[in-house]
């Protein structure tokens, strides 16, 4: 099977909310080729398949933060409903209740994106531990080197330049 969607672009849709890696209903519906309303209808019809560790509804404050951070979700700002957040298991369960060919194929890619995200987090934590261990073994002369390494490991907060004047 060929990749329908690059895992990297799926990774951009994975958010960390309440210390959980999730995808919003809007993004999942788009990936699965159905309207968000249809996805949410199916979830409500099959609510027993979605325990709280599979899905949760965002609060108003969480919705505002997500809309502010994610440009592709700007239309959610005007939606009266609060979006659902699906964990990895919830995303797979959503594919099973939709039972469309696209949903089945894309669910495999969604799982791969979550796995890749998890592997990145583990690698990053492991690298931080190694730098800390190395710092303990060397004297203060190398403090600048270790500070530079930590700075490189910290995600940069990129600010968008305004276009125009």
Q: Is there a domain that residue 98 lies in?
A: yes
Tokens read off for 32:
């699965």
Give the number of domains in the chain.
1
Model pLDDT, residue 1: 37
- pTM greater than 0.85 (yes/no): no
Model pLDDT, residue 129: 72
Model pLDDT, residue 83: 93
Give, in order, the Cα–Cα distances in Å from 110 to each of 15, 131, 161: 13, 32, 31
What CATH number corresponds to the domain at position 76? 3.10.260
- Please, are residues 58 and 50 in contact by the beta-carbon 8 Å criterion? no
Domain that holds residue 14: 7-121
- Please, are residues 98 and 32 in contact by the beta-carbon 8 Å criterion? yes
Q: CA-to-CA distance for 26 and 72, rounded, in angstroms?
A: 10
Q: Is there a domain that residue 144 lies in?
A: no
- Please, are residues 96 and 30 in contact by the beta-carbon 8 Å criterion? no
Phi and psi (nearest 5°) for 164?
105, -150
Q: CA-to-CA distance for 165 and 156, rounded, in angstroms?
A: 25
Q: Is there a domain that residue 131 lies in?
A: no
Give, in order, the Cα–Cα distances in Å from 96 to each of 33, 92, 108, 162: 14, 7, 11, 43
Q: Is there a domain that residue 134 lies in?
A: no
Q: Is there a domain that residue 37 lies in?
A: yes
pLDDT in tens, the chain (165 residues): 334 444 455 667 888 889 888 989 999 898 888 999 999 999 999 999 999 999 999 999 999 998 888 888 888 888 889 999 999 889 888 888 887 778 777 767 777 777 777 777 667 666 677 767 766 666 665 666 666 666 666 665 555 555 554
């Amino acid at each position: 099977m060929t990749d329908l969607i690059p895992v990297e672009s799926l990774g951009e849709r994975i958010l960390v909310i309440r210390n959980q890696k999730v995808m919003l209903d809007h993004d999942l519906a788009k990936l699965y080729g159905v309207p968000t309303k249809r996805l949410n209808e199916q979830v409500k019809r099959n609510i027993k398949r979605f325990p709280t560790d599979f899905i949760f509804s965002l609060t108003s404050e969480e919705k505002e933060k997500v809309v502010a951070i994610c440009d592709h979700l700007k239309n959610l700002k005007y939606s009266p409903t609060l979006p659902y957040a699906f964990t990895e298991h919830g995303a797979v369960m959503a594919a099973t209740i939709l039972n469309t060919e696209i949903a089945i194929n894309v669910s495999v890619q969604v799982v791969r994106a979550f796995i890749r995200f998890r592997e990145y987090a583990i690698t990053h934590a492991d690298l931080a531990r190694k730098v800390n261990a190395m710092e303990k073994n060397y004297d203060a002369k190398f403090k600048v080197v270790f500070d530079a390494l930590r700075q490189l490991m910290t995600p940069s907060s990129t600010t968008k330049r305004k276009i125009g004047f």
